[in-house]
Amino acid sequence: MKKFKFSLEALLSVKKKKEEDVKMRLAKKNREAEETRKSIENIQNKLREFQAAEKERRGSASENIVSLRNSVAYRNAMKLELLNEGRKLDNIMAAVHAINQELIKASQERRAVEIIKENRFAEWKRQNNVQEQKFIDDISQQAFIREKKASAQRGS
């Protein structure tokens, strides 16, 4: 019985490699998205702390126009940074979605080749079982013929 050999094995390994590469890109983008989320959370916390400190400061002391202007400018800068990080996160999530679609396609392509391999293996196995059965039948038939000849010679 000869060994099973899949002629498209090279194609299957290329498809697996492509799928792994896409998975790595997806993981990288997911890490990037998580870092951006943490950055947004950090900015939000800074903004809350600043606003609480400003509220406390404004209630206790007299306001001067320069510090008020600086306070408003800093708060606007923080809000702008928050907005930019939100846009960055949106872009990253769009890229994650695109990579996810690419991963789905790569997985389908790999699975299609694997199904072909499984079908060919099943066919190969069936053919080998048929050949093996023929071989066993031939051996049984030869043994039966030898036994019949031996009993015929003993009987004569």
Q: Looking at 32-36, 67-71, 128-132, which range is the least confident one?
A: 67-71
pLDDT (0 to 100) of residue 57: 78
What is d(CA 129, CA 55) in angstroms, rounded to the nearest whole number? Answer: 85
Assess contact for 22 and 95: CB atoms under 8 A: no
How do the domains of the chain map onto residue ranges?
9-155
For residue 39, how many other CB atoms are within 10 A of its CB? 15
What is d(CA 96, CA 27) in angstroms, rounded to the nearest whole number? Answer: 9
What pTM did the predictor assign? 0.72
Residues 53-87: pLDDT tens digits? 888 877 666 667 788 888 889 999 999 999 999 99
Phi first, then psi: what are they for 152, rounded to 5°? Answer: -70, -40
Residues 120-129: pLDDT tens digits? 999 999 999 9
* Range 26-42 average pLDDT: 97
Q: Residue 152 pLDDT > 90, yes or no?
A: no
Q: Which residue would you say has higher pLDDT here, 20 or 61? A: 20
Angle at Cα 144 formed by Cα 141 and Cα 150, nearest 5°?
Answer: 145
Phi first, then psi: what are they for 70, rounded to 5°? Answer: -65, -40
What is d(CA 11, CA 25) in angstroms, rounded to the nearest whole number? Answer: 21
